C-alpha cells in the first residue's frame, strides 16, 4: 500500500481526508485506486484520454513523476504519492 | 619679547553643535588619529590629525571665516587645535566640549567604520553578533531593495520581519484597501485603518518599527505594461500574490530580468514555498506549467485560511530573502517546501528545471512584453 497525500482542493472529494491509503505497483495504478475509492477525484486528476491533467503535479516521495516514468513509475510498499496542484492564495 | 595672549576658544555642547550641523554651513573637523576616526566619527567630519594640522587644515577648511567646529575624543585635543586655528587666522572656531564621547552619550548619531550609526549598531547588534551576518552582512541588508507583491496575508509578516531586519528599501505592490476580514491574518494593518490603502497602512507600521526603512508604495495592479519597469530597480522580489495571472506574469518578467523570486502561497491549513533564481534553478512555470482551472483555483472562491499560516509562510519567505541578500545558507532553489499545519508536517519536494520550459528552457524564445503571463490556449483562467 502507498500513502496518497490529498491537497486541500481535493479533500471535499475524499471526505475531508488529507491522506488516503491506496494499492498499486505503479503511480498510475495507485491513482486509479484512489479514483475508484473516491470517484469525484477522477475528473480533476485525469483528462478525457486518461492522461494526468497538466495542472496536477504528482510526486513519488520527493521526486516529480515527470522526471521519472510518469504514471508508469514503480511504487513500492510504504511509498508516498503526493498530489500537488498550484495554489495562489496570498 | 612680545607675548601673544591666547584668545579664549569657544566651547559648545554637543547638542548645540548638532543644531548648527543640522542648520548647515558648518565645517566639521575631527582632530584625532586615523584609527579613532575609523572606529566612529561624526557624519561629514573631516579628519585632520593633530600632528598634521598645519599641513592639512587648509584642504579641510579652506575658508578661514567659515564657521568651523572641531571635535576629538573628549574635548582636549580639539581645544588645542582650535587655538592653533585661531593663530592661523580662523575667525569663527569652536571646540565641542566632551568630544565624541559626550556626543554619543547624548544619543547623537555617528558613522562607524562600518557605515552604521551608533543607533544602528545597537539596533542590529543581535544580527551583527552572528558570524553569518556580521557588520558587513547588516550593511548588505541596509542597502538591499526588496519588492513585495501583495501587502496582504503573506506580505504582512514578510514586510514586518524584513523591516525589522533593516532591509533598506521595501517596495509594496497592492491596489487593495484594508478590510475587516483581512485582520485575522494581515498583522501589519489594524482596526483603525480599515478602508485605507494597504500600502499606506503598511507604511505606517513599518516606519514606526524601523525608521531606517525606506518604504515605496506602488498602489497599483501589476500588468504586462508596468511590471518590467517596476521590478527592475529591486534586488529580490517576494511573491505573495493572491491570483495566478499575477504569479505567471511575475515569473515571466523576473526570468527576463534575472531577478530572484521568493514565492509562497497559502490555503486553509496548507502552505507552499520555493525560491526561483532564474537559470540557476527552475522557474515557476517549470514547477507549474499550467494553472489549474477556475474550479480548482481556490483563490477564486472563499475557501478560508488559518490566519497563522500567513505568519508561518511569510516568515519563511523573509528568511529566504535575507539569505539571498547575505549570500549565506541554502535557499530553497530547486526545492518546494510544503507545510501542513494540522499535522504540523513539513515535506520537501525536488523541483527540476524543465528543458522545454517556454520561459527559461534552453530554446525558449524571447516573448513580447504583451505576451508575458499569458496562456494562449487557456480559456478558464482564474481571475483572482
pLDDT of residue B375: 61
Mean residue pLDDT of chain A comes to 93
d(CA B278, CA B261): 9
Q: Which residue has the higher pLDDT, B13 or B290?
A: B13
pTM, entire model? 0.76
pLDDT of residue B294: 76
Q: Does B49 touch chain A (CB under 8 A)?
A: no
Q: Do A86 and B268 touch (CB under 8 A)?
A: no
CATH no., domain B144-371: 3.40.50.720
Domain range list for chain B: 10-113, 144-371
pLDDT of residue B2: 46
Is residue B114 a contact partner of residue B120, using CB atoms and an 8 Å limit? no
Q: Residue B204: CB partners within 8 Å, gap ≥ 6?
A: B193
Q: Do B338 and A84 touch (CB under 8 A)?
A: yes
Which residues of chain B neighbour A63 with C-beta distances below 8 Å?
A: 349-350
Q: Tens digit of pLDDT for each residue in A64-73?
A: 999 999 999 9
The domains of chain A, with CATH numbers, are: 2-85 (3.10.20.30)
Q: Which of A9, A83, A89 to mutate to test the interface with B (most CBs of B within 10 A)?
A: A89
Q: Tens digit of pLDDT for each residue in B107-128?
A: 898 877 567 888 998 999 999 8
Which residues of chain A neighbour B272 with C-beta distances below 8 Å?
A: 84, 87
**What phi and psi, each to the nearest 5 degrees, are found at residue B19?**
-65, -45
pLDDT of residue B300: 41
Where are the extended beta strands (E) located within chain B?
A: 10-12, 27-30, 40-41, 46-47, 68-71, 93-96, 111-112, 145-149, 169-173, 214-218, 236-239, 261-267, 270-276, 335-340, 345-350
- Report the chain A residue with the minimal C-alpha distance to residue B291: A55
- Report the chain B residue with the minimal C-alpha distance to residue A68: B352
Neighbours of B16 (CB within 10 A): 14
Which residues of chain A neighbour B149 with C-beta distances below 8 Å?
A: 90
Domain B10-113, what architecture?
3-Layer(aba) Sandwich (3.40)
Q: Does B292 touch chain A (CB under 8 A)?
A: yes
Confidence of residue B180 (pLDDT cuts 50, 70, 90): very high
Is residue A12 a contact partner of residue A6, using CB atoms and an 8 Å limit? no
Which secondary structure element, helix H or strand E, spans residue A81, and what is its range? strand A80-85
Q: Which residue has the higher pLDDT, B86 or B121?
A: B86
The proportion of chain B whose per-residue pLDDT surpasses 70, expressed as a percent, equals 94
Which residues of chain A neighbour B345 with C-beta distances below 8 Å?
A: none
Q: Residue B77: CB partners within 8 Å, gap ≥ 6?
A: B31, B32, B50
Q: Residue B158: CB partners within 8 Å, gap ≥ 6?
A: B148, B238, B240, B314, B315, B317, B318, B321
* ipTM rounded to 2 decimals: 0.93
What cell was used for B88?
A: 592661523
Q: Tens digit of pLDDT for each residue in B215-262?
A: 999 999 999 999 999 999 999 999 999 888 999 999 999 999 999 999
Q: Tens digit of pLDDT for each residue in B325-340?
A: 999 999 999 999 999 9
3-class SS of residue B303 = coil
CA B16 to chain centre: 32
What number is the average pLDDT over the span B188-212?
Answer: 98
Q: Does B356 touch chain A (CB under 8 A)?
A: no
Amino acid at each position: 500500500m502507498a500513502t496518497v497525500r490529498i491537497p486541500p482542493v481535493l479533500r471535499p472529494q475524499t471526505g475531508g481526508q488529507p491522506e488516503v491509503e491506496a494499492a498499486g505497483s505503479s503511480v498510475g495504478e495507485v491513482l486509479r485506486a484512489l479514483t475508484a475509492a473516491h470517484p469525484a477525484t477522477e475528473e480533476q486528476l485525469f483528462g478525457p484520454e486518461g492522461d494526468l491533467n497538466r495542472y496536477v503535479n504528482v510526486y513519488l516521495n520527493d521526486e516529480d513523476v515527470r522526471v521519472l516514468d510518469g504514471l508508469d513509475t514503480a511504487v513500492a510498499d510504504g511509498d508516498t504519492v503526493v498530489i500537488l496542484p498550484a495554489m495562489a492564495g496570498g | 619679547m612680545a607675548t601673544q595672549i591666547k584668545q579664549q576658544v569657544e566651547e559648545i555642547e554637543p547638542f548645540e553643535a548638532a543644531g548648527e550641523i543640522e542648520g548647515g554651513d558648518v565645517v566639521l573637523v575631527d582632530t584625532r588619529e586615523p584609527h579613532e576616526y575609523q572606529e566612529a566619527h561624526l557624519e561629514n567630519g573631516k579628519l585632520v590629525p593633530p600632528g598634521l594640522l598645519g599641513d592639512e587644515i587648509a584642504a579641510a577648511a579652506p575658508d578661514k571665516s567659515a564657521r568651523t567646529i572641531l571635535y576629538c575624543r573628549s574635548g582636549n585635543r580639539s581645544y588645542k587645535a582650535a587655538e592653533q586655528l585661531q593663530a592661523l587666522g580662523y575667525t569663527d572656531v569652536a571646540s565641542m566640549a566632551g568630544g565624541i564621547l559626550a556626543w554619543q552619550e547624548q544619543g547623537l548619531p555617528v558613522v562607524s567604520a562600518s557605515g552604521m550609526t551608533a543607533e544602528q549598531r545597537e539596533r542590529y547588534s543581535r544580527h551583527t553578533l552572528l558570524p553569518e551576518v556580521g557588520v558587513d552582512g547588516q550593511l548588505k541588508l541596509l542597502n538591499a531593495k526588496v519588492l513585495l507583491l501583495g501587502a496582504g496575508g503573506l506580505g504582512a509578516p514578510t514586510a514586518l520581519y524584513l523591516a525589522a531586519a533593516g532591509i533598506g528599501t521595501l517596495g509594496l505592490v497592492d491596489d487593495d484597501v484594508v478590510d475587516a476580514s483581512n485582520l485575522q491574518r494581515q498583522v501589519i494593518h489594524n482596526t483603525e485603518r480599515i478602508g485605507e490603502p494597504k500600502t499606506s497602512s503598511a507604511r505606517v507600521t513599518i516606519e514606526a518599527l524601523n525608521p531606517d526603512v525606506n518604504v515605496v508604495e506602488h498602489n497599483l495592479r501589476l500588468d504586462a505594461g508596468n511590471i518590467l519597469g517596476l521590478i527592475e530597480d529591486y534586488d529580490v522580489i517576494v511573491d505573495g500574490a493572491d491570483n495566478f495571472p499575477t504569479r505567471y506574469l511575475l515569473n515571466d518578467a523576473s526570468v527576463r530580468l534575472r531577478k530572484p523570486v521568493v514565492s509562497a502561497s497559502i490555503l486553509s491549513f496548507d502552505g507552499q514555498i520555493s525560491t526561483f533564481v532564474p537559470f540557476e534553478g527552475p522557474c515557476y512555470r517549470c514547477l507549474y506549467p499550467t494553472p489549474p482551472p477556475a474550479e480548482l483555483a481556490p483563490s477564486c472562491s472563499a475557501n478560508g485560511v488559518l490566519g497563522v499560516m500567513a505568519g508561518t509562510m511569510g516568515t519563511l519567505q523573509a528568511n529566504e530573502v535575507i539569505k539571498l541578500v547575505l549570500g549565506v545558507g541554502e535557499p530553497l532553489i530547486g526545492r518546494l517546501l510544503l507545510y501542513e499545519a494540522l499535522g504540523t508536517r513539513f515535506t520537501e519536494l525536488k523541483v527540476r528545471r524543465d528543458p522545454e520550459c517556454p520561459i527559461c528552457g534552453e530554446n525558449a524564445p524571447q516573448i513580447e512584453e504583451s505576451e508575458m503571463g499569458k496562456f494562449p490556449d487557456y480559456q478558464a483562467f482564474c481571475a483572482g
